[in-house]
Every structure is written in C-alpha cells, then in structure tokens.
C-alpha cells in the first residue's frame, strides 16, 4: 500500500511544486499559441505594431494559460483548493510584475523581467489556490 505524504511538510512542498510547474507549463503553452495566432493575423505587418501585438499575446496568453492550468488541476486531478483565489493570484502576479517593472528597475534587464513574469504568476496562483486547505 503506497504511503500518503499529503499531510507532511515534504508532501505539501511537493504538491506546491507540482501544481506550480503544471500551471506554468499550461501557461507557456497557451502563451505560445497566443503569439502564433497573433503572428498569423499580422503576417504583412512589420515593426512596432507586430511587436506590440506579440507582447500583448504573451501578456494575456500566459496568465490565461495559468488560469486554465489551475482549473485543470482542480477538475482533472481533484486537488482541493479555491479556484477564485487561484485566479485572483494569477491576475495579481501579472499586475505586480507590470506595476513594479519600472520602480524596481526590472525593465533594465529583459531576462530578469521575463523571469519575474514567468515565476510570479504561477506561484501566486498556486498560493491562492492552496490557501483554502
């Protein structure tokens, strides 16, 4: 009979990491799909308009993908948690990243800004989802 580690600290950390990686993976997938759809619509457009729409696709597609990932976590894998708080955490991660980019000088290095964007949204989404446990 397999051991149930869900009540231990190691089990809770493992659950947190699994949910975070799962939601981030779904978010990246839907973000890429959003960018590909934008590129199909903007085939003849070149310049800042195409760049702006591609960035908009990432800014909208990735958080929506994380939200879809947390819904799949709840419905398919039957994890207990609050979908509403998970969705709010995802939106809060997006707002915090965009709002603090200039004051914290995150936009000076694109790699740092992108890393904060990729990490903050699924982590805050998972924290919100697991708050009800």
Provide the whole-model pTM. 0.83
In a domain, 3, yes or no: no
124 close to 90: Cβ distance less than 8 angstroms = yes
Classify residue 4: in a domain, yes or no. no
Q: Quickly count: other Cβ atoms within 10 Å of residue 96's Cβ.
A: 15
56 part of a folded domain: yes
pLDDT for 6 equals 58
The CA-based diameter of the chain, rounded to the nearest angstrom, is 60
Does residue 2 fall inside a structural domain? no
The string of pLDDT tens digits covering residues 56-115 is: 778 888 999 999 999 998 999 888 889 999 999 999 999 999 898 888 887 788 888 888
Question: Range of 92's domain?
Answer: 9-130
DSSP string, 45-89: --SHHHHHHHHHHHHHHHHHHHHHHHHHHHHTS-----HHHHHHH
Number of domains in the chain: 1
């Amino acid at each position: 009979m397999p051991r149930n580690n869900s009540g231990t600290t190691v089990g809770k950390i493992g659950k947190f990491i699994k949910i975070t990686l799962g939601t981030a993976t779904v978010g990246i997938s839907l973000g890429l799909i959003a960018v590909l759809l934008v590129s199909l619509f903007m085939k003849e457009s070149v310049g800042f308009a195409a760049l702006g729409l591609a960035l908009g696709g990432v800014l909208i597609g990735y958080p929506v993908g994380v939200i879809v990932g947390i819904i799949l976590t709840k419905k398919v894998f039957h994890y207990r948690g609050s979908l509403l708080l998970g969705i709010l955490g995802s939106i809060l991660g997006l707002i915090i990243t965009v709002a603090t980019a200039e004051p914290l000088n995150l936009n000076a290095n694109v790699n740092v800004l992108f890393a904060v964007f990729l990490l903050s949204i699924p982590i805050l989404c998972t924290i919100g989802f697991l708050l009800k446990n």
